Each structure stands twice: as C-alpha cells, then as structure tokens.
Structure 1
Amino acid sequence: MSRGSVTVRVARWSATHPWRAIGLWLILVAVAVGLSVMVPKQQTKAADTWVGQSGQAAEMIQQAGLGDKPSETVLITDPDGRLDRAEAAKALRQLEQKMTGIAAVSTVGAPIWAENGKAALLPIELKGSADDAADNVDQLVAATADVQKENQNLSIQQTGSASLDAGIWKQVGSDLAKAEKLSLPITFALMLLAFGALIAAGIPVLLAISAVGAALGFYAPLSYLFPDGGSVANVVLLIGMAVGVGYSLFYLKREREERRRGHGTVDAIEIAAATSGHSVVVSGIAVIVSMAGLYVAQDPVFSSMATATIVVVAVAVIGSLTVLPALLAKLGHRVDRPRVPLLWRLNRRIGPGGISRRLLAPVLRFPKIALLVSVLAIVALAVPAFGMKTEPGGLSTLPQSIPEVKTMQQLQANFPSQGMAYDVVARSNDGEAPVAALTALQRTAVASGKFVVTPGQQVRSSGDTAVLSLVSVRPDTSDDARIALGELRDDLVPKAFAAGSGSTWAVGGETADSIDYGQNQRDKLPYVIGFVLILTLVMMAITFRSLAIALVTTALNLASVGACFGALALVFQRTWAEGLLDFTSPGFIVSWIPLFLFVILIGLSMDYHVFVLNRIREGVRDGLSPKEAVRKGITESAGVVTSAAAVMVSVFAVFATLGMIEMKQMGVGLAVAVLIDATLVRIVMLPSILVLLGRRAWWPTKLSAATVEPTPERELVTA
C-alpha cells in the first residue's frame, strides 16, 4: 500500500473535508431509510421453494386448478378433560355466526367431533389465495378470541397455515426486538472495555447501527429480485453489528496507536487507511465472496440472505473508509474523552497485547508441541460433527410459546386425519386412468392402517389430472415423515400406477415439500463449499502473493468450521443443554443451518485473519526474523482481534437466547466458532505454523528488508 492508494486518498479527502463526508453519509442513511418506508419489501412465495418431486406435484396441481382453498380450523377442548358436548355446541354456533359475517370467509363447514370425545373442530374455508388468507386471518383470530371470552370454561383456539405463519412472524419480530435490545448495550460495554473512553466506544456502535439501518433500506428494492425468505432482518442485524463494529475497531485502534507514536491526526489517519483500511477492504471482499457462495445453492431464501449480507458488509466498509476518518479528524484527541477512570487506567496498565504476549510465549518457544496440542483439541471438538444429522424444520422445532403451534399439536392428537398430509397427483391422456388408479390407491393405503383420508378430501379431478390427499397416522416428526413419504413413493404409489398405465405421477404436499427442500440443500452443500474455498484461496493468494499463506488460511478456516459443527451436534442433538438454552432438542440440526454457517464463518474468520497477517507481514518486511515478526504482529493486533471477537461472540450469543431454534443454532454455532477461532486458532495454530514455516510461509514471494518497498509507516513519515 502506498500514499496514492485508493483507501488513503479517500481517507485524506474525508479527513480534510470532514463535514462534507459526514453530510454525505447522513444523506446515504436517510435515502436508505426512505427506501425502506416507500418501497414495500417482497416476501418469497410458496412456488419459489418448489424443488424435486414435491415441486413437480405442486406445479401439476396448480396447472389443473386442484389446489386446496386456504383454510383455518378452530379447535375446542376442555382443559379439565372430556368435552361437554352441549357447551361445545353452543360455542360452535357462536363461532359459525361470527365467521359467516366475515367477508374473507367463503364457507364454514359442519363441526367435526373427535372419536375420543375430548375435542371438536370447526373447519373454515377462506376466499382467494394463500396470500389473501394471510392478509385477512387477523379478523378470524379476533372472532375466535371473542368467542373464547364468552366461554371461559372451554379452550377455543385457532390454527391453520395463515394463523400459524402469523404466529411465527410475531415470534420472529419479538426475537429481533430482543436481539436489538440486548446486543446494543452489550456491544457498547465491550467497546468501553476496549477503549476506556465514551466517544471512542460509541463511534463503532453508531456506525454499525447506521450500516444496519442503511442496508435494510437498500435491500427493500432488491427484494423484488431476491425476495425475503423470512430471515433477512435477523441476518443483517447479526452480521452488520459484527462486521460494522469490527471494521471501525480496526481503523480506530490503528489511528490511536499512530497518534501515540507522535503522528499528527491526519498523518495517523492516512497510516491507518494504508494499513487497517486496506485490511478492511480485503476482509469485506472476503465476506462478500463467501456470501456469494449462497447463490450457488440456487435457493431463494439463501439468495435473499446473501444479498442482504453483501449489502450490509459493503455499507460497513464504505462507512469505515469515509465517515470514520472524517469523525476522527474532527474529533482529534477528543476521541479519547470523556475517559472512564478505572477502565482507562486498566487499558494503559495492560498495554497492547499484554495478555496475548504471555499466552504466545510458550507457543513460540515450543511451536511443534503447541501445534500438535491445538490440532488434537480441534479434532476432539470436531469429532461429533461426523454424527451431525440435518432435517428440515417443522412443527417439532417451533417454539411452544407460539399458541398456534400448541393448537396444531392438539389438533393432530385428537384428529389423526389432520396430521401429515401428502398429495398424490397423476396426469394421463386418458382422463379416467388417474382417477381409477388413485381410487385403488386410497383403498390400499387406508387398508394398510398407515394412512387415513380427511373427510371431503377423496379423489378430485380436473381434465387429465387427479389428486388424492392421504394423511399419515404417524407422529409429526421428521423421521416419521420421511418413512411415510418413502412408503408412498417407493411402494404404494408405484404399485397403483403399474407399468403401462401411461400416467405421470408425483407425491407432494407440505410435508413432502419440507423433506425435498432439505435434501436439495444437502445436495447443494458440496458445490457451495467448493465455490467458497476455491475463491477465498485464490483471493488470499493474490492479496498476500503467497500460495502457502492461502493454503494455511484455508486449513485454519476448515478447522474452525469443524469445531462449530461439532459444537452444534453436541448441544442440539442431545438434551443436556435444553434447560440452559430453553429449548427442546429435536435430535437434529435444521437443514439450512450448516450451509449458512459454513459460508458466514469463512467470511468472518477472514475478517481479522487478514488484519493479523498484515501486521505479521509488516514485521517481516521490516527485516524481523519470522519468530519476531509473528510475536510483533500477534501482540500488536491482539487487542483489536480480542475486542472484535468479543463483540461477535456476544452478539451471536444473544441469538442463542431467542425463541426460534434456528436462531439458537445459528447463534451457538457462530459464537463457539469465533471464540475458538480467535483463541486456539489465531493465538496457537497460526503462529506455530508460521514459525515452523519461517520465510517459506510467504513463498513464492520473498520478503526481506533489502528487497521490498518501504512500509506505509516509513513512506508516510518520510513524506
């Protein structure tokens, strides 16, 4: 990096025109917020996630116009036991009267009484599409609540696709609010510990918050190309706070360090731009490249996550290179005011890298032993990953705090025909053939005792297409769902459509959709891994002009990922942590989590890895021995790395406290991985490997004081 580099020129302009830079940043954020208000964010549609045989079935049903009308169900039970039929009948009449008065309701079906005498249900069919049902379901929920108030002795609850989705979104919104409420004060407290001054602590948090807000605004128009799959806000907050604070931290720490060495404010900013600013750009590109790997999965949910993350990282990088230098130039030495006396003295007493210097000493003295011990520790942590089981999320993974989830479980327990449904759809030039085959299939499936037919859901046909809905009597778990689907696809349906029937058939439905979706994600995982590893390896090789560094980086990244997956299997596939994290173990990891975590971890681990390697390379260029360069680079960057890692771990740990198990798994995985990466990997494995490799670590480039250009510090000082 030189005085004429882009990062230095941008920093110099911002430092010499601070009010313009600050004003432009405020305009950028204001425009983004305006976009979020004016442009409605688009959500994914059901058809966007159709894959495999279930996707084929859904398309055939849609083309024939045989799709089920959106519906809701009101379940009536008695909390004390057996249902009083007369009392329940009265409540059912009240429900029917209220529901028929709602314009969005198409028909109210006849009440159905459970054979066990403990429940009754009222089926309600809605007008329009599933999207229309989502818009109008609140009216039905309000009507159900009114009837519940009039019948205090009964439990009257509503559930269905629309109300269940509404309950899930309400939980997601509550989780997001909780994450914001907890992460901001925790992050600010950590910044106080890192700087010991209020203004210095507030700047990274403020920039991170503005980056998150701006990214959500800019994503709104992009959602028309990449609709939100439901997790964009959570992911933007998660990653935005982590990288936004980290990038500002890198820059701010270096600028303060250079000022302590006697440089003026503008010179210190330029040196920080040439060094830490360069690292921020490379780290940002690394995260963006990693997140781009999600596009390889060709999944709308992953594409929305990738797009939103790329936007928030890009905004965070821009903010660190523009408005941050402007703020530092305007504040000057006042950035270290007002000081928190105890924390300020503690920071000065420990000094830069004080703790890491003590931890690093035995590693540099015995690098072979340190490397062996650290590798064994990583392997031990990663071993449980080989037993990691992934399944799509479902009713069993949703929080019990969502009322509609409990109601759905009670509904399935009292009415087996309301359980896991599968749609068998067939098409033939002979319009009678599919109907005849499906009628025979219905008799065989029901006679097997493994399936039942929901009343009113017998074979229905239109033109050359016919559909039969079968409900499994098995419990609503992922294993039972897979078994039931296998019985249909591999046995019952092929026998019903014997060779020569001339019919095209497929088995779909919501349960089959979920299973096929999870399998599709597992199938895409190798391609995503290959894409991300190859691109990041090439990027590191180009950045440091060293194949050895690129290979070492890839190996260390995989070590962190292995430890992360091992921790996930240990925590969520067993029951020992249920009370600690307030969840019920489903016995598996939600299928999209490993792929998403892999991509995120590669990007985040590169975040401060690039920063550390740049500091080590500076020492080698200054003519230090490999061991001394490692000592200098690790200790001088330790404070920044530790602070950045602490912020990431704390933000991720907040997500482990949320209600949705996907958020818990994502939070635990990221927190454990970053903690291990910032300690065991970066303080033990990386320095021991670099010491053992010596100057060969920078092969094929030869770095020495005699053959390389001056470091940015010398160049700027002499200038």
Structure 2
Amino acid sequence: MPTETRRTEGLLARLARFCYGRRRLVLLTWIVGVVAVSILGFGYGAAPDNDFSGGDSESAKTQELIEKHFPEQQGDTLTLAIKAEKGIDDPVTRLKIEKVLADLAASPITGPVTSPYQDKVLVTQDRRFARVTIPLSDKEVEKSEVKPLVDAVKDASDDSVTVALGGYMAEKAETPPQGSAESVGILAAAVILFIAFGSLVAMGLPLVTALLAIVAGLALTKLLGHLFPAPDFTLVFGAMIGLGVGVDYALFIVTRYKDSLRDGDEPESATIKAIDTAGRAVLFAGTTVVIALLGLFVMGQRLMTGVAVATSITVLVTMIAAVTLLPAFLGFTGYKINSLRLPRRASRRNQEVSAPSQERHTLAERWAAVVQRKPLVAALLAGGILLVLAAPTLSMRLSQPDASVQPHDRSSYISYKILSEGFGPGYGAPLVFATEVGSKDADLRPVVEAVSKTEGVAYATPPRVSADGQAVTFTAFPTTGYQDEATANLVHELRDDVLPRTTGGEQVLVGGPNAATIDVAEESGSRLPLMIGVVIAMSMLLMIALVRSVTIALQSAVMNVLSIGAAYGVVVAVVQWGWFGPALGFPTAMPVTTWVPMMMFPVLFGLSMDYQVFLISRIREEYQRTGDTRVAVARGLARTAKVITAAAAIMIAVFTTSLLGPDVAVKQGGLGMAVAVLIDATIVRMIFVPAVMELCGKANWWMPGRRAPKATPTPTPPAAVREEARV
C-alpha cells in the first residue's frame, strides 16, 4: 500500500495492520500473557466474599454490636435436625441419634456438641423433634471438610428416624459445582457458529479468541478480588458474559472479513477493513457494556462494586482480544477461512457468488417492507407485547435464597422441613435484638414481653447480658418463614411501632440474617432507579457519539428499557409466581434474588446496545449511500439479520445453560438474560426498530446544530470472489 494511504489510516487500521503483519509475535505475547496471568490469578487470587451485610442498615449495626460485646457468638455453626416417628426416647432410635451425635463431636472441625437428652429446650413437647446447634472450629473451615459430615448424617436416616444437617456451610458443602454448564454453552456456541459460517476454521476463530480472553479475564478477576472483594457467583457470571460477548464480537469481525474477501479484497486489506469497521463497532459496544456494568457502583454495596469491576475486566479483555488477537489469527488463516466447510453449503455459496449482492437477504428485506407498510400498527403491537410481559415486574419481591428454596433431596432442605414442622416455620428466620446498656442490672424484660405479644411472633428467648455488662441481646422467632412477605412486614412493625413504644429512650436494634436480607433488598430496590438512570444517561451519550443522532439514542434507550422490563416480568412469573418453575429447575416459588435485577440491568442494557450499534451502523452506512431512510433500514436489517440472529442465538444458548447448574440465583439471572436477548433479537430488532425508524423518517438523524448526514450515492460493488476464497 502506498505510504500516503497508510498515513491516512486511523488508529484501528494501523493496529490491525500491525497485528496481521506481526501475527507470530502477537500470538506468542497473548499465550505467554494468559499463562502468566492464569498462574498468578488462579494460584494467588482472593477467595470469594459472600457477606452482603454491612453499611448503615439497622441489621449491620446490630451485627457490629454483637461482634463487639458477644464475641462467643461468632463463627459458623451447623444445625442437626432430628425427626423420630416413635420419639427420640425409643431405645433403638436413641442409639442411632447418640451415634450421630458422637460422630459429629469427634470431628476435628466441630466444637462441643450438646445432646438433646441433656437440654429439654432442644426437644419439642411430644419428643418427636429435636435440634442441636454444632459450632465449627475457630479455624477457617472449608466446605470440602463439611461435606463428609453432611453425607454421613444423611446416610444415618431410615424409616424410624430422619436426621439432616443444615446451616450455611452445610448448604454450601452439598451444592455441586457448576459442572458442565459452561461446556454445554461452548458446545452450543460452536454448533451455532458452524451453522452460521459452514466452516470449521471460521467457527474456531471466535471460540479460541473468546476462550483465551475469558481465561485471562477470570484470572485478573481473582487477582483484583484482593482490592475489590466479590461473591462466588462472580466467576460464573463473568464466564457467561465473557463467552457471550467474546464470541459475538469475534463473530461480527469474522463476518465482515468474509464479506470483504467475497468482494475481492486481499486477506490483509480484508482484515484491516473488518477491524476498522466491525472492530470499531465492537469497541463502542464493549465500552457500552463496561460503562453499564460500572453503573453498579451507584448501588453503594461493597460486593456489587466487586462484581462490577470483575465483569468489566472480563468484557474489556474480550474487546482487546477481538481487535488484536483475532487479526493475528486471520493472518494465519488468510483465504483458508472457509476451509473444512459443510459440503451442502458449496452449491449455496456458488449461488450467492452469481447472484446480485442485494438478493442475498430477501427474507429480511421483505419482512422490513411488511413492517414499514404499517409502521404505527407494528410499533403499537410490539410495545403492547413488551408491556404485557413487563407487567409482573410490578409485583417483584427481593430476597436471598435459603434452605427452603433448595432442591428437596438436599440435606439443608430436609433439615429446614424438620425444623419447620417441629419448631415452626419461623425457626429458620430468627430476629436478633440487641442494645447497649449502662450496667448489668438493665431490665429488658418489658421489651421481650412486648415483642412476644406482637402478632406474628411465635416466642422470644429471655434476655442475655454480655460479659462486659454493656449490652443485652435476645432472639424472637416469627410464625412465618424466611421467604414470606409477612416476615418482612413483622420486622417493619417491630422497628417502627413496637420497639419505639416500649423502649423509651433506649435504642433496641433488630438484626439477624433475615433482617439483613430485608435491609439489603430494600436498599437495593431504592437505589435501583438511580442506577438505571445513570446507565441510560451514560450509554446514550456513547450512542450519540457513535451514530451522531439524539433521536436514535433515545429510541435505543426506550426500546432497551422495555425489553429489559419484559425480561424482569418473565423472571417474576417463572421464579416468584412459579409458572413453569419446576420444569426450568426451580424447586419452588421464591422471591427474586436481590442481586439478580441489579446485575441484569447493566448487562442487558449493554448487550442490547451492542445489537443496536451493529444494526444502526449498517443502516447509517446505507443512508449515507442512498439518502432514503426506508431503503437504508431495509438494507441495514437485511445485511445484519443473519449475524445478529447468530449472535443472539449464541447468547441465548450460553445464558440458558445456567439452568443446568445448581445455583438457583444464577439460574434466575441466566433465565432473565436469555429471555431479554430473545426479545431484543426478535420483537425489538425485527419489529420495533424498523417501525419506529419508518415513523421518524429524516428525524432519525436529528442532532442539535447539525444537519442530517448527506447521501453520497455509490454503486454497490459486484460480488466478485477470488478462486482462493472458495477453497
């Protein structure tokens, strides 16, 4: 290429030329970098942090007070639940129970075990149910150490007595790893790519690029965990999002590369053109996703900040891989991009070569024409469908999963059922009360009595004074369970009415795991609109910078919010209302997990903007070529329909595979994102976009202080393909 032409190249074009020409160096750098980061990240990365408490909530203040004055109450515990059909005093039953107790006491990870035969408080009046709290040792106990205890206790059950271990560590110990879900997602992506490209080589490039980027991104996530702690679901979500966007970004670039080869370009110039066009859209789209994810900072929650940083890093690495590693791979493949292709596609390819370029997507163009003939009807129909799907969102309740929503064959669920049957459904939702006092003689009995008489409280324990005489605590058990809305209402009644009336000037705080869940859910719900506003505003600014149109940026924001709202509604209907829940892997109806809506919105808004960027970029190119909005929309839709459909199918497949995993919260997120992508790729892209753009006409390109882009008609290049490109 002449020197003058090279000087006029943009930064992306020069980067593509460098990566193509120095492909061995680029590939070696990537391999060495990924290996080094993986060794550091997976070897020395931070452990996950699942403590969502903290902040200024009342439950957080309660926890701080208890940690300060009741240090002996700290540490994880297990709960042994016992149900004996003939009563625990039956001689044969007693031998079995005492054998289980002895085995638990002998474990090196447990502390002293109090037998229910020694403390009548641990046994129901009919002597059929009993409970034992088992403290874990002071050292950091791994779930792999708890799993043998869970299995041994479960195996000790028979027809006469049922025993099961519950508690946070027991629940974690028996939750299987994500397993083959990611592998299934990769396989599904490979199949879709093979169908889209019809070539093993073209299929492999996006997959290899995405996988290398994901490994590096997840390793960096582990390292950054030392600065920004994140919960254990972060890696699963990071892998899903990274795989989805990584494959999609590479798919867009490879598609543009193949188009350039088909139009007669050399491999090097085709690579440069692909990076300079599709690569530019990838950077804008990826930046939108990153900005949307960083909107989680607005939530003001320590762990969600960690999630934002971790997932943003993964997306950022996939972007870099798409514009550096992929050009290097294209340098190695050259004209062989179509090698190892499906035999049945050869005749179809020859037909495409001999047919005019504009006839290759007749179905999409005809569909666009149908929508454009009745744009108002189409827009109203699409909007109506989205609003109907979004309607359940109005009844959304937020909470955290507990033992009651786990699969029914797990020990933690069996323990929950036994304790609920014997001690009431509120046993698993204790409310912890605490207050600082002036002396050991402080009398909190009137408060305990008032709490005990409150409707919805089953019973309360006597008050206990701390060893330093500066604090008092007691526990109350509701008549309703952890996930019941009535329990949340009870917490508010106690805080807002009962305690202020009873305590006078003393401040009695209400905390405990259940109250903490309620506080986090309400704080998240109150901050969610702010995060949504920030994400929309930042993404619109980026969209305006790309397409130079306020109108299209507004259209994109409104459509994306509607599609995400529809996804929220489907999640509520399936998860909270129980529609098709068991068929999709949800054991029972449950509230939506607190972090799921927070995580879904920025991810989905960013991904929706991805498809909008690729579609609008092509429409804008066609408008500049023809000056006709109707023709531009039809041709832009036709040129992008196949690749957006393939990209959406990959996203849907990757997100849907989360339903194969064990974590009900991750399943909720995966379901919601799969539904949102499906809606976005069908109702929004195929109906809403062409209808609304047809209605707006030239107003689509409105920008303050600027005229609509002028058309510069250019003839469409013939579909010439080199003989080598057919190999």
Shift of 1:107: 1.6
The aligned amino acid for 1:286 is: T
Task: Tell me the residue number matched to 2:129.
Answer: 119
Contact 1:568 1:665 in 2 (8 A): yes
CA RMSD between the two structures: 2.9
Shift of 1:456: 8.5
Task: Provide the rounded CA distance (Å) in 2 between the counterparts of 1:579 and 1:353.
Answer: 40
Task: Tell me the residue number matched to 1:74.
Answer: 80
Contact 1:419 1:473 in 2 (8 A): no
Confirm or deny that 1:533 pairs with 2:536.
yes
Shift of 1:585: 4.2
Confirm or deny that 1:633 pairs with 2:641.
no
* SS of equivalent residue, structure 1 residue 177: coil
Cα distance change of structure 1 residues 145 and 267 upon mapping to structure 2, 3 Å threshold:
closer
Spell out the pairing of 1:6-21 with structure 2 (5 A cutoff). 6-21=11-26
Contact 1:2 1:274 in 2 (8 A): no
Task: Tell me the residue number matched to 2:522.
Answer: 519
Shift of 1:703: 4.7
Shift of 1:110: 2.8
Larger mean Cα displacement after TM superposition, 84-93 or 31-40: 84-93
Contact 1:76 1:88 in 2 (8 A): no
Shift of 1:210: 1.7
Task: Tell me the residue number matched to 2:280.
Answer: 278
Contact 2:581 2:589 in 1 (8 A): no
Cα distance change of structure 1 residues 166 and 354 upon mapping to structure 2, 3 Å threshold:
farther
Contact 2:217 2:314 in 1 (8 A): yes
Shift of 1:336: 0.7
1:419 pairs with 428, 435, 440, which one? 428
Task: Tell me the residue number matched to 1:615.
Answer: 618
The aligned amino acid for 1:509 is: G
Confirm or deny that 1:602 pairs with 2:605.
yes
Task: Tell me the residue number matched to 1:89.
Answer: 94
Cα distance change of structure 1 residues 24 and 344 upon mapping to structure 2, 3 Å threshold:
farther
Confirm or deny that 1:402 pairs with 2:389.
no
Larger mean Cα displacement after TM superposition, 105-114 or 210-219: 105-114
1:55 pairs with 60, 72, 76, which one? 60
Task: Provide the rounded CA distance (Å) in 2 between the counterparts of 1:553 and 1:538.
Answer: 12
Cα distance change of structure 1 residues 187 and 589 upon mapping to structure 2, 3 Å threshold:
same
Shift of 1:586: 2.6
Spell out the pairing of 1:423-434 with structure 2 (5 A cutoff). 423-428=432-437, 430-432=438-440
Confirm or deny that 1:663 pairs with 2:666.
yes
The aligned amino acid for 2:127 is: G
Spell out the pairing of 1:273-422 with structure 2 (5 A cutoff). 273-343=275-345, 345=347, 352-416=360-424, 418-422=427-431
Larger mean Cα displacement after TM superposition, 698-707 or 314-323: 698-707
Shift of 1:49: 3.8
Task: Tell me the residue number matched to 2:501.
Answer: 495
Larger mean Cα displacement after TM superposition, 156-165 or 219-228: 156-165
Task: Tell me the residue number matched to 1:685.
Answer: 688
Task: Provide the rounded CA distance (Å) in 2 between the counterparts of 1:367 and 1:2.
Answer: 45
Contact 2:549 2:700 in 1 (8 A): yes
Task: Provide the rounded CA distance (Å) in 1 between the counterparts of 2:349 and 2:406.
Answer: 44
* SS of equivalent residue, structure 2 residue 49: coil
Contact 1:251 1:276 in 2 (8 A): yes
Contact 1:392 1:517 in 2 (8 A): no
TM-score of the superposed pair, with normalisation by structure 2: 0.89
Contact 1:32 1:216 in 2 (8 A): no
Confirm or deny that 1:643 pairs with 2:646.
yes
* SS of equivalent residue, structure 2 residue 227: coil
Cα distance change of structure 1 residues 411 and 389 upon mapping to structure 2, 3 Å threshold:
closer
Larger mean Cα displacement after TM superposition, 400-409 or 503-512: 400-409
* SS of equivalent residue, structure 1 residue 115: coil
Deviation track 1:604-659 (CA, whole Å, cap 9, x = no partner) reads 00112111111111112224412122122111111111110111111122223433
Larger mean Cα displacement after TM superposition, 439-448 or 308-317: 439-448
The aligned amino acid for 1:469 is: T
Larger mean Cα displacement after TM superposition, 320-329 or 300-309: 300-309
Spell out the pairing of 1:435-474 with structure 2 (5 A cutoff). 435-437=442-444, 439-446=445-452, 450-451=456-457, 458-460=464-466, 462-474=468-480
Task: Tell me the residue number matched to 1:25.
Answer: 30
Task: Provide the rounded CA distance (Å) in 2 between the counterparts of 1:13 and 1:507.
Answer: 62
TM-score of the superposed pair, with normalisation by structure 1: 0.90
Deviation track 1:384-437 (CA, whole Å, cap 9, x = no partner) reads 333333334333333334322321331232234843211111113x2246x402
Task: Provide the rounded CA distance (Å) in 2 between the counterparts of 1:552 and 1:227.
Answer: 36
Larger mean Cα displacement after TM superposition, 96-105 or 50-59: 96-105
Task: Provide the rounded CA distance (Å) in 1 between the counterparts of 2:309 and 2:11.
Answer: 25
The aligned amino acid for 1:259 is: L
- Structure 1 unmatched runs, 5+: 715-719
Shift of 1:226: 1.4
* SS of equivalent residue, structure 1 residue 521: helix
Cα distance change of structure 1 residues 139 and 367 upon mapping to structure 2, 3 Å threshold:
closer
1:702 pairs with 707, 718, 721, which one? 707
Cα distance change of structure 1 residues 600 and 30 upon mapping to structure 2, 3 Å threshold:
same
Shift of 1:452: 5.4
The aligned amino acid for 2:79 is: T
Task: Provide the rounded CA distance (Å) in 1 between the counterparts of 2:691 and 2:528.
Answer: 31
Larger mean Cα displacement after TM superposition, 645-654 or 622-631: 622-631
Cα distance change of structure 1 residues 345 and 443 upon mapping to structure 2, 3 Å threshold:
farther
Confirm or deny that 1:653 pairs with 2:659.
no
Shift of 1:11: 0.8
Contact 1:76 1:157 in 2 (8 A): yes
Contact 2:109 2:141 in 1 (8 A): no
Spell out the pairing of 1:166-177 with structure 2 (5 A cutoff). 166-167=173-174, 170-171=175-176, 173=177, 176-177=178-179
Contact 2:582 2:588 in 1 (8 A): no
Task: Tell me the residue number matched to 1:717.
Answer: none
Confirm or deny that 1:43 pairs with 2:53.
no
1:105 pairs with 102, 110, 131, which one? 110
Larger mean Cα displacement after TM superposition, 453-462 or 617-626: 453-462
Task: Provide the rounded CA distance (Å) in 2 between the counterparts of 1:2 and 1:118.
Answer: 86
Task: Provide the rounded CA distance (Å) in 1 between the counterparts of 2:279 and 2:392.
Answer: 39
Task: Provide the rounded CA distance (Å) in 1 between the counterparts of 2:362 and 2:91.
Answer: 77
Task: Provide the rounded CA distance (Å) in 2 between the counterparts of 1:66 and 1:455.
Answer: 19
Shift of 1:348: 6.6
Contact 1:391 1:588 in 2 (8 A): yes
Contact 1:7 1:273 in 2 (8 A): yes
Contact 1:105 1:124 in 2 (8 A): yes
- Structure 2 unmatched runs, 5+: 1-5, 117-121, 353-358, 719-727
Task: Provide the rounded CA distance (Å) in 1 between the counterparts of 2:153 and 2:223.
Answer: 42
Size of the alignment, in residue pairs? 697
Cα distance change of structure 1 residues 75 and 380 upon mapping to structure 2, 3 Å threshold:
closer
Cα distance change of structure 1 residues 657 and 144 upon mapping to structure 2, 3 Å threshold:
closer
Percent identity over paired residues: 25
